[in-house]
Amino acid sequence: MCRYSLEWRLPHVPCPGERVLIAVDVPAGSPVPPEVMALWKPGAGYAVCWNSLTVKPIRRWSAEAKGAARKRNLRRRLEKKMPLFADMLAEEEIARRPGYFAGE
């Protein structure tokens, strides 16, 4: 499902009336409903807006994936700034903060 609405979109001009004139829920992929387009006037400050109503669950990284990404980013930063000492500095940093690079 998605929602088409007619909302005030001029941030530096106070809204003359309702902030949202109309909101219509329709199936995803549907065109703008005619009742929304009937109220829209070009240059009036209101814009046709689209919002998705289906909420996907947030996908969290596992501790292993988070730790691997942190090690990879550390390696990339060190290779860019100090390529000769990148291995040594990466090992020292991982030994200094093992929990962080384990994904905790």
Which residues on adjacent β-strands are paired with residue 26? 2
- Assess whether pLDDT exceeds 90 at residue 53: no
Tell me the two tokens of residue 80: 């860019």
Relative to beta strand 2-8, strand 46-52 is antiparallel
The residue-averaged pLDDT of 59-86 equals 95
Q: pLDDT class for 58, splitting at 50, 70, 90?
A: confident
- Residue 19: phi, psi to the nearest 5? -70, -40
The residue-averaged pLDDT of 68-90 equals 95
Separation CA 20–CA 4 (nearest Å):
11
